[in-house]
Amino acid sequence: MQIAPLVRGTADVAVQTTWLKEAIERGPVAGYEAVLDYPPGTTLVMWAVTSLLDLPLEHAVKLVSAGALVLGALIIGRLVSGRAAIATVSVFAYPTVILGYTDSLFLAPLAVAVFCRQWGTRLLAVVVLVSLKWTALILCPVFLMVWVTDVGLSNSFRFRRVIGDLTPALVAVLVLFFTYGPRTLIYHLGVSSITTQSPSANAFNVHWLISWFWFDGAPYGSEVYETIPGIYRLLFQVLVVVLIGVVTLWGARKAESYAKQITCLRVVVIVYFLFAAFSVHENHLFLAVAVSLMAENKAKGGAVTVVLATAYLLNLFLYYGFNGWQRPLELLGRAAVLPGLSVALALLWVGIRDSLTWVPWRRGLVEMRDAQR
């Protein structure tokens, strides 16, 4: 008997299943040749769990993703609170169990990277994040700058501290490089940037809106938005680099503040999602939503988390419906621009709001207002 949530999902489920089949038949290293644009971590985890538990291949992607969601929630419950864990499961159940996204694999290492006290473990968790999906690279500048600042504030012998913190992460990187080969990893990273030429791959962002008007209201205009001049792409890439650089420098101040780290991580993902001009997909807001859900009482901002989660789920639902194969966005016709515009404006509001909390006078007003609630 087929279980509906397991046999449905987006087209990505079939692609991931093909990659997993290659890994099972040829081994996780040789089978990695079949992977198009992912680092090896996702397929490696899928292969290991599927082989260990003897899961049915046709259901393995969703079963492993669902298990990762539960494991991530348990770790979040341990490091943060039970309420944060329940919120995490509630928000990501639909994308994971119904649509079949493997983003839930991020949850456990992301929680460790954000909340663990030992920087050696945190940096190792960052490497694990990047090994799962290349989109985690956008978090690296913030983590590294906060770590550098934290080392600078340390009273212990700094050289020994640096060696101790970096060793686990460097060992993990070297293992990946020697196992899969640096040329192979760099090739897959390059492919991930060029396989989809459109700046928006179904993500409700600035480029999606521009493509909407460019192609006169085509709901999936972003999918054919490929004939743009190189200067367009260059200008937005420079904008993203500059904005992430500014956010990272802000994150270096008061590195011991969890609230500052969380808002910085959230903002860099929003900047990438809204403005990056290469292959930004509809699910790439996951990291911002996840870190916001994990924050709970570490950083005030329940409204921000609700807005982020709503924008994320609305984007997914309008493109894939209840089972991953519907397209409710097409039923809206020209009115489809309204939810797209709403999501982009909501994300812009979150980014500006978070940024204003870093301004001394504005931060004081926000803290005073939160204290009065």
Phi and psi, residue 11, nearest 5°: -65, -20
For the chain, report the end-to-end CA distance as a whole number of angstroms.
52
Mean pLDDT of the chain: 85
The residue ranking higher by pLDDT, 264 or 1, is: 264
List, for residues 157-196, the tens digit of each pLDDT value.
678 889 999 999 999 999 998 999 887 777 777 766 665 5
pLDDT recorded at residue 361 = 44
The residue ranking higher by pLDDT, 286 or 337, is: 286
Burial of 350 (0-12, 13-18, 19+ CB in 10 A): buried
Can you give the length of the chain in residues?
Answer: 373
Tokens of 50: 């599927």
Residue 91 in this model has a pLDDT that exceeds 80 = yes
249-271 average pLDDT score: 81
Which of 70-79, 91-100, 291-300 is predicted least confidently?
Answer: 291-300
Q: Which of 224-233, 249-258, 304-313 has the highest mean pLDDT?
A: 304-313
40-45 average pLDDT score: 95
The residue ranking higher by pLDDT, 187 or 80, is: 80
Residue 83 in this model has a pLDDT that exceeds 60 = yes
pLDDT recorded at residue 186 = 79
Residue 66 in this model has a pLDDT that exceeds 60 = yes
Distance CA 367, CA 356 (A): 12
The residue ranking higher by pLDDT, 198 or 122, is: 122
Distances (CA, A) of 196 to 168, 225, 228, 302: 34, 10, 13, 34
* Helix then strand then coil, % of the chain, to nearest 5: 75, 0, 20
List, for residues 132-143, the tens digit of each pLDDT value.
999 999 999 999
Cα-based angle 57, 62, 68 (whole degrees, multiple of 5)? 115
Residue 78 in this model has a pLDDT that exceeds 70 = yes
pLDDT recorded at residue 277 = 83
The residue ranking higher by pLDDT, 365 or 153, is: 153
Residue 362 in this model has a pLDDT that exceeds 70 = no
54 neighbors 35 (Cβ within 8 angstroms): no
Domains in the chain: boundaries: 4-372
